[in-house]
Amino acid sequence: MSAGRKPGVVIVGGGHAGGRVAERLRHGGFVGPIDVAGAETELPYERPPLSKGVLTSPSVPANAYLLPSARWHEIGVRFHLGVEAVGIDRQEKTVALSNGASLSYRKLVLATGLSPRRIRPLEPIAARTFYLRSFSDALALRSRIVPGARLVLVGAGLIGLEVAASAVKLGAAVTVLEAAERPLGRLLPRYLSQWLAELHERAGVRILCGRQVISSEALDASARLYLDDGSRFEADLILVGIGGTPNDRIAGEAGLHIDNGVVVNEFGQTSDPDIFAAGDIAAHENHLFGGRWRLESWKNAEDQGAAVASYLCGNPAPYSEVPWFWTDQYDLNVQVAGVPGTGAPAYERGKPGDRAYLAYFTAGDRLIGAVGIGCGRDIRIARETIKAGGKLDNAELVRTGFTCLGGAFERQAS
């Protein structure tokens, strides 16, 4: 910290959540110093384009950045890029950086995100194994996805399936390995997982569920993978997308409460009242659904970052949002709000595969989840309804084209 410069807000993590905290602090009227320290050399950007537009475009999409470089300068946010925070001194209120410098803070925000989970059996072919968490990761992967390349994706989650859709468009031969029994099993009901798998298979993607890599070996110009079912096959490159672990080491070493991430209250405040956390590392109490949640999503980074900034600006607003996820695969946009569960919906309009499909999931007569394909406006309304604890009007839904499939309303519709 330069001489004469009073401590302000220090943000550790220059990704989406950290960048949104900085931007919203200025938007909310905060006039003190704002310092952002980030391990990457890029200014804050959104990560969803990494598995889509960054892979399929000849250049990095400009709209991936939260703000243009000049705008950050205008609002007076100072960045320290390419450096990591290596320690927090809560008594002195300083953050030590990997370049030997330190930053003094009045309030500290941790937004350090995730590190991708790695697979030990792939260590012998590390030169051909990729992970997707940054622009540099995406650019390195993009240079290798060429027509005819044999790409293996380990993990049929959002990243794996989005990259599969992008890679097959580029002419790669794509195989997806998933340890669970179906793709996106934690996000989609079974029938929608099956529909999505069939969509990929029609596009030429091979999906193998219930399979795991147990060993690998490097060949002269490729790699060979051995699976737990005894099968083996060759690949030119491998992408691992099996989620991540929160980067909460320095928080734990500083004595903050850690439980699958940095534990925060409804305002993003940690066990130290002067330290906050936002985004992928923050484990918060969700008063809508109960329990402690740590959400790895664009929406959580966006909203939780804004909530922390609002609190620091003296306008506290409890953060307890409806989970919302979206994915673009091929020419379809799929959105999930709330907690649909694993079973069939209570109401359905259309069928999976239609250009516009919408399903509602209930607990009793209360809406708790919704899934839509090409129905962004409907999902937004569903999120608002779920947050308000709203109930569904059976007669109105049937009148507007929904079919009652069961659940609490089956008896009413009979």
pLDDT one-digit tens code per residue, 252-264: 999 999 999 999 9
The upper half-sphere exposure of residue 292, i.e. CA atoms within 13 Å in the direction of its Cβ, equals 13
The secondary structure of residue 65, as a DSSP letter, is B
Residue 67 reports pLDDT greater than 60: yes
Q: Which two tokens stand for residue 305?
A: 């970052």
More confident residue, 61 or 2: 61
pTM above 0.75, yes or no: yes
Q: The tokens of 339 are what?
A: 């907690």
Residue 353 confidence (pLDDT) = 82
Choose between 52 and 60: higher pLDDT. 52
Asked whether 150 and 222 are in contact (CB, 8 A), the reply is yes
The whole-chain average pLDDT of the chain stands at 92
Query: Residue 347 and residue 409: Cα distance in Å, rounded?
Result: 9
| Percentage of residues in the chain having pLDDT higher than 70 | 95
Tell me what pLDDT residue 60 has: 63
Q: Between the CA atoms of 360, 364, 365 and 370, what dihedral angle is there, to the nearest 10 degrees?
A: -20
Question: What integer pLDDT is reported at residue 344 of this predicted model?
Answer: 81
Whether residue 61 has pLDDT greater than 90: no
Query: Do 283 and 262 contact (CB within 8 A), yes or no?
Result: yes
Query: Between 220 and 58, where is the model more confident?
Result: 220
Q: Show contacts of 122-126: CB within 8 Å, 24+ apart.
A: 122/154, 122/213, 122/216, 122/238, 122/240, 123/216, 124/215, 124/216, 124/217, 124/218, 125/216, 125/217, 125/218, 125/223, 125/238
Q: What is the pLDDT of residues 141-195, one digit of tens each?
A: 999 999 999 999 999 999 999 999 999 999 999 999 999 999 999 899 999 999 9
CB 29 within 8 A of CB 313: yes
Q: For residues 38 and 64, is the Cβ–Cβ distance under 8 A?
A: no
In the prediction, which pLDDT does 62 show? 67
